[in-house]
Structure 1
Amino acid sequence: MTSPYDPQNNPGATPGQPFPGQPVPGQYGAAGPEPDNNLVWAILSTVLCCLPLGIVAIIKSTSVSKLWAQGDVAGAQKAAEDAKKFAIWGAIAGVIVLVILVILNVALGLAASSSGY
């Protein structure tokens, strides 16, 4: 018995088009829903924390939908993971810089108050 999804048994099939019932990348199916692009976190990381890493996160997050629409499921998932990773790194870098600035301000404030100025 042959499958109705076999192109040789389905003369009405359009070349390059999926057979009925086959999952199409970019739609719900075997690939699942489109991954979260983490754009909100990328923007927050850019504005509030670390500009360079945030920009990379925004670029990665905007490529998720493009890759998904092209059918590159693995590429879209990788771009989503990278966007999240860069947004987290940007937030961590921003916190570290903030802590260093606070320590320097406290140290300079103590030095100025002890010198009599």
Structure 2
Amino acid sequence: MNTTTPQVPNNLVWAILSTLFCCLPAGIVSIVYAAQVNGKLAAGDIAGARESSEKAKKWAIWSVIAAVVVGILYGILIAVVGVMGGGSSY
């Protein structure tokens, strides 16, 4: 009889880092799912723990993607505003 619980990564570190450095709303969702993993494992809900782990990972990745897209759009906006300004100064 095997009584050890399987190792399911909670992805909490990635969730926290993506919240701090990337996209706050998606990062918070990632933290919520990451926080559920250990509790579900302790309750014996292995499938639920794996599902929460995958969702935490997915939301952390989406947080990073959102930050990259926003950064690119911001760079484009700054470039367009700089070109439209024409460099004329008084």
TM-score, normalised on structure 1? 0.72
Matched residue, 1:6? none
Matched residue, 2:2? 23
Matched residue, 1:71? 44
Instruction: Please give the alpha-carbon distance, in whole angstroms, between the structure 2 residues aligned to 1:90 and 1:72.
Output: 27
Residue 106 of structure 1 aligns with an amino acid whose one-letter code is A
Gaps of 5+ in 2: none
1:90 Cα deviation (Å)?
0.7
1:34 Cα deviation (Å)?
2.0
Of structures 1 and 2, the larger Rg is shown by 1
Residue 88 of structure 2 aligns with an amino acid whose one-letter code is G
Gaps of 5+ in 1: 1-21
CA RMSD of aligned residues (A): 1.2
Highest RCO, 1 vs 2 (Cα 8 Å, sep ≥ 6): 2
Over residues 1-48 of structure 1, what are the superposed CA-to-partner deviations in whole Å (9 max), with x where a residue is unaligned? xxxxxxxxxxxxxxxxxxxxx333xx24xxxx3211111111111111
Match for residue 58 of structure 1 among 17, 25, 31: 31
Instruction: Please give the alpha-carbon distance, in whole angstroms, between the structure 2 residues aligned to 1:92 and 1:66.
Output: 28
Instruction: Please give the alpha-carbon distance, in whole angstroms, between the structure 1 residues aligned to 2:27 and 2:71.
Output: 16
Instruction: Please give the alpha-carbon distance, in whole angstroms, between the structure 2 residues aligned to 1:89 and 1:73.
Output: 24
Q: SS at the partner of 1:34? A: coil
TM-score, normalised on structure 2? 0.92
Match for residue 84 of structure 1 among 57, 61, 79: 57
More helix by share: 2
The share of aligned pairs that are identical, in percent, is 45
Equivalenced residues, count? 89
1:115 Cα deviation (Å)?
5.9
Instruction: Please give the alpha-carbon distance, in whole angstroms, between the structure 2 residues aligned to 1:92 and 1:72.
Output: 30
Q: Does 1:43 align with 2:22?
A: no
